[in-house]
Amino acid sequence: TVTREFTQNMPKAELHLHIEGTLEPELKLKLAKRNHINIGQETIDEVKKTYEYDDLASFLGVYYPAMNVLQHEQDFYELAFNYLQRAAKNNVRHVEIFFDPQAHTSRGVSFEDVINGLHRAIVDARALNIDADLIMCFLRDFSKESARKTLAQALPYKDMFIGVGLDSDEHNNPPLKFARQFEDAKAAGLHLTAHCDIDQKDSIEHIRQALELMDVERLDHGTNIVEDPDLVDFVVKHHIGLTSCPLSNTYVSPKMKGDEVLSLLERDAKVSIHSDDPAYFGGYIADNYYALATAYDLTKEQIIKLARNAFETSWISDEKKAIYI
């Protein structure tokens, strides 16, 4: 059987992690104090009491206001370095980190401070034997024009990130809204991924757009693709990764969407396990593997397959991939 130690010690690739979602209550309180920001809570218990959500929108309503404590380059550095230290201890060997510049520039923080702080942490963490890259996400509930400006601001820093993604509130914000920005990012040599799933009403249409019209290489979440066998054929054929996050799925489905993950594994789709916003959903990547393994009585072989899928669909060089696959 699969033990917690097994999930912890196994070499892992993390492909679905929002750096802002690693802001632990301890650091949140420390930065609030240092930056003189009143967040309305003074103890760790008080902070944790605000962590109640039953859908994406109610989660985002807690998540964005908390980011006010992130003000300076050094704050972004500490956020990312704390995460990378913790990940390295849990044998995460490679991580592709999402960041949301618009969540910060919209409150007056400079793009440069955000990316320089995160990048400096990544460089320092190399000494810990963890290899990290950044993926810049557009907030899909912001305008196209805001996404255009953000990409223009980011392109001079192209050496500091490897791809673009799409996150935040999916309702009425289809992937195609950002077709132009994705096309421009691709032309600039960047990789592409997009969150797809939470909006039950249009989720299959969103997945279809992302895959067929926008050339994404991965889908974040996206496991409800199982409702459409033709789209499953497409992801199998094109080795598209699907990054599932069991613990963050608990607010949409108590069963963590494990049935979808297992069905995709059976079809030999490149589905993998990640942590989304670990400080808010009760666990880091090993906890996510372990929760799924326990709930579905997964075998070691199934866990290893999921871990291998993550390395295979990661954006590391082929030489580095060969070490893990």
Annotated binding site for Zn(2+): 16, 18, 195, 276
Examine residue 309 and tell whether it contacts ligand ADE (CB under 6 A): no
Determine the size of the site formed for Zn ion (CB under 5 A).
1
Decide whether 128 or 252 has the Cβ nearer to Zn ion. Answer: 252
Nearest to 243 by CA among 167, 301, 131: 167
- Do residues 273 and 265 lie in contact, with contact meaning Cβ atoms separated by under 8 Å? no
* One of 276, 288, 303, 311 touching Zn ion (CB under 5 A): 276
Least distance in angstroms from the C-beta of 291 to Zn ion? 17
Residues 275-294 that bind ligand ADE (CB under 6 A): 276-277
How many CA atoms lie within 13 Å of 246's alpha carbon, on the beta-carbon side?
24
Nearest Cα neighbor of 84 from 41, 38, 127, 143 is 127
Q: Are 303 and 6 in contact (CB under 8 A)?
A: yes
Nearest to 69 by CA among 106, 92, 37: 37
Considering only residues 224 to 253 of the shown chain, the ones binding ligand ADE according to CB under 6 A are: 248
Minimum CB distance to ligand ADE smaller for 66 or for 293:
66
The interface partner of residue 197, options being ligand ADE, Zn ion, none and the CB cut-off 5 to 8 Å by kind, is none
Q: Of 100-108, 250-258, 262-270, 273-281, which part binds Zn ion (CB under 5 A)?
A: 273-281
Shortest distance in whole angstroms from residue 203 CB to ligand ADE: 12
CA–CA separation, 200 and 162 (whole Å): 30
206 binds ligand ADE (CB under 6 A): no
Nearest approach in angstroms of CB 228 to ligand ADE is: 21
Cα 52 to chain centroid distance, Å, stands at: 20
Among Zn ion, ligand ADE, none, partner that 78 touches (CB below 5 to 8 angstroms by kind): none
Q: Give me the helices (H) in the chain, please.
A: 4-9, 25-34, 44-49, 56-66, 73-89, 102-105, 111-125, 144-154, 179-187, 203-208, 229-237, 246-249, 258-266, 278-281, 285-296, 300-312, 318-324
Looking at beta carbons only, is 251 or 324 nearer to ligand ADE?
A: 251
- Tell me how far CA of residue 173 lies from CA of 10, 152, 179, 209, 217, in angstroms: 37, 21, 12, 12, 20
Task: Indicate the residue whose CB is closest to Zn ion.
Answer: 276
The answer to whether 167 contacts ligand ADE (rule: CB under 6 A) is yes
Question: Closer CB to Zn ion, residue 100 or residue 276?
Answer: 276
Site residues (vs ligand ADE, CB under 6 A): 18, 21, 56, 167-168, 195, 248, 276-277
